[in-house]
Amino acid sequence: MSYFRPEIAAMAGYAPGEQPQTADFIKLNTNENPYRCSPAVEEAVREAVARGLSRYPDPTAGAFRHKAAEVLGIDPDWILCGNGSDDILTIVTRALVGPGELLRLPYPSYILYTTLATIQGARSEALHFHRDWSLPAEFGAGGPDLKLVFLPNPNSPSGTMISPDAILRLAERLPCPLLVDEAYVDFAETDCLSLVGECERVMVSRTLSKSYALAGLRFGYLVAQPHLITEFAKVKDSYNCDTLSIAAATSALGDRAWLAETRAKILATRQHLADGMRRLGFDTVPSQANFTWNTHPQHPVKPLFDELRRRRILVRYMDYPAWGDGLRITVGTDEQIAACLDALRRIV
């Protein structure tokens, strides 16, 4: 006999990418930023500590919402903050999708979406991308039991994007909200922020984990129309963001020069990575994110992953049932990517 709800007892639980606790790996497996965050962020944390931590944090993270509103050109009441964007995805799922109801995601994409549906006792439906990573027409269809659609854009593991125009047309056909997960959007050429004002069904989530080099901090946010934000706020933990993370995230968003400089470095290295992989015979999908998706027409990729790991280079091996496998490689520093390409050159 289990004490647990049947859906919890039956599920495997979400398995995040490996985080080795030793420093001797070149770590290119979880799409972290290889650079240190803005010095202004570290200073903001020190100042917050100096002010003391005996009081509860601002439950709505007002300082961050005002800064983000200024940077994004929207009003603060369009923003909800979370303990990482995973917290935002959880809040949205809990608020919109009831037991037995349906949540949709594209496939292959972020595996956590399915886990969230399962915890909720809801059903999930993974609609396959076409082989060119465009969406099937059914992605925009749906009946009354469809309550939420997730779309990572850029997508993981492909790094590809669906255009904002296509997303707006999709949202207009859907019977329910569409959450565009923009975890990687700072590395891309376009974004869907302006769609939120045009269509209330479009919502955008973002994170400071990747482009701002703050995966260890846990801060993300949702942009949606204010009447939706009010409802989502009922579902969140009272103090889901802490004093230190609010201070850090607010100053991170304020340092535009740091973001521009870091983004430029990562985009340049992404090009070296993609060129190098193609020279080695890989099929490497053009990426708008801080990673690339790589398959090889001759070599099975699992042994390549194992051999890289043996050489202390950690990339992500993904095997998607009914789709296929590949290597997702995070854009590190130029030196890390050179080492990875060099190792692959010796192996293939």
One-letter amino acid for residue 344 of the chain = L
Q: Is 86 one of the binding residues for ligand PLP (CB under 6 A)?
A: yes
Nearer to ligand PLP, 232 or 276 (CB): 232
Q: Is 292 one of the binding residues for ligand PLP (CB under 6 A)?
A: no
Task: Give CA–CA dist 243/238, Å, rounded.
Answer: 13
Nearest approach, Cβ of 24 to ligand PLP (angstroms)?
24
Q: Is 183 one of the binding residues for ligand PLP (CB under 6 A)?
A: yes
Q: Is 84 one of the binding residues for ligand PLP (CB under 6 A)?
A: yes
Query: What secondary structure does DSSP assign to 114-164, as a single string?
Result: HHHHHHTT-EEEEEEPPTTSPPPGGGG---TTEEEEEEESS-TTT-----H
Q: Is 156 one of the binding residues for ligand PLP (CB under 6 A)?
A: yes
Task: Give CA–CA dist 77/219, Å, rounded.
Answer: 18
Contact with ligand PLP (CB under 6 A) among 38, 90, 209, 287 = 209
Contact with ligand PLP (CB under 6 A) among 120, 207, 240, 251 = 207
Nearer to ligand PLP, 145 or 323 (CB): 323
* Tokens matching residue 333: 């520093």
Question: Counting Cβ atoms within 10 Å, is residue 213 exposed (0-12), middle (13-18) or buried (19+)?
Answer: buried
Nearest approach, Cβ of 5 to ligand PLP (angstroms)?
24
Nearest approach, Cβ of 96 to ligand PLP (angstroms)?
17
Q: Is 110 one of the binding residues for ligand PLP (CB under 6 A)?
A: yes
Contact with ligand PLP (CB under 6 A) among 29, 33, 60, 85 = 85
Nearer to ligand PLP, 329 or 344 (CB): 329
Nearest approach, Cβ of 294 to ligand PLP (angstroms)?
17
Stretch that binds ligand PLP, among 78-86, 164-172, 192-200, 299-307 (CB under 6 A): 78-86
- Count other Cβ atoms within 10 Å, centred on residue 36: 11
Nearer to ligand PLP, 105 or 343 (CB): 105
One-letter amino acid for residue 252 of the chain = A
Q: Which residues of 290-320 are buried (b: 16+ CB within 10 A; e: fewer)?
A: bbbbbebeeeebeebbeebbebebbbbbbee
The site string for ligand PLP over 211-240 (x = CB under 6 A, - otherwise) reads: ----x----x--------------------
Residues forming a β-bridge with 328: 293, 316
Q: Is 152 one of the binding residues for ligand PLP (CB under 6 A)?
A: yes
Half-sphere exposure of 315 (CA within 13 A, CB side): 32
Torsion of CA 205, 67, 252, 160, to 10 degrees: 30
Q: Is 120 one of the binding residues for ligand PLP (CB under 6 A)?
A: no
50 to 56, 63, 67: CA distances (angstroms): 15, 18, 22
Q: Which residues bind ligand PLP (CB under 6 A)?
A: 31, 84-86, 110, 152, 156, 181, 183, 207, 209, 215, 220
